[in-house]
Structure 1
Amino acid sequence: MNLDLLTAVTIFVLGVLVGFEVISKVPSTLHTPLMSGANAIHGIVVIGAMFIAAASHNAIGYVLAFVAMAFGAMNVVGGYLVTDRMLHMFRTRPAAQGKDGQRPESAQEATTQGSPAQNAEVQAP
Structure 2
Amino acid sequence: MNAQLLADLTVFVLSLLLGFEVIGRVPTTLHTPLMSAANSVHGIVFAGALIIALTADGVLGYVLVFVTAAFAAMNVVGGYVVTDRMLEMFRPRGAKR
**Cα distance in 2 between the residues matched to 1:45 and 1:79:** 13
Percent of pairs identical after alignment? 61
Q: Which has the larger displacement, 12-21 or 83-92?
A: 83-92
TM-score by length of 2: 0.80
- Give unmatched runs, 5+ long, in structure 1: 96-125
Name the TM-score, length of structure 1 as normaliser.
0.64
Alignment of 1:20-59 (within 5 A): 20-27=20-27, 29-30=28-29, 32-33=31-32, 34-59=34-59
8 Å CA contact retained: 2:35, 2:83:
no
Q: RMSD of aligned C-alpha atoms?
A: 2.1
1:1-125 aligned at under 5 Å gives the runs: 1-27=1-27, 29-30=28-29, 32-33=31-32, 34-94=34-94
- Poorly superposed stretches of 4+, deviation over 6 Å: none
Secondary structure of residue in 2 paired with 1:90: coil
Q: Which structure ranks higher in relative contact order (CA pairs < 8 Å, sequence separation ≥ 6)?
A: 2
Pairs aligned (count): 94
1:30 and 1:75 map into 2 onto residues whose CA distance is 22
CA distance in 2, matches of 1:89, 1:17: 31
Counterpart-to-counterpart distance in 2, 1:80 and 1:11 = 29
Gap runs ≥5 in structure 2: none
Cα gap change, 1:90 to 1:30, in 2 (>3 Å): closer
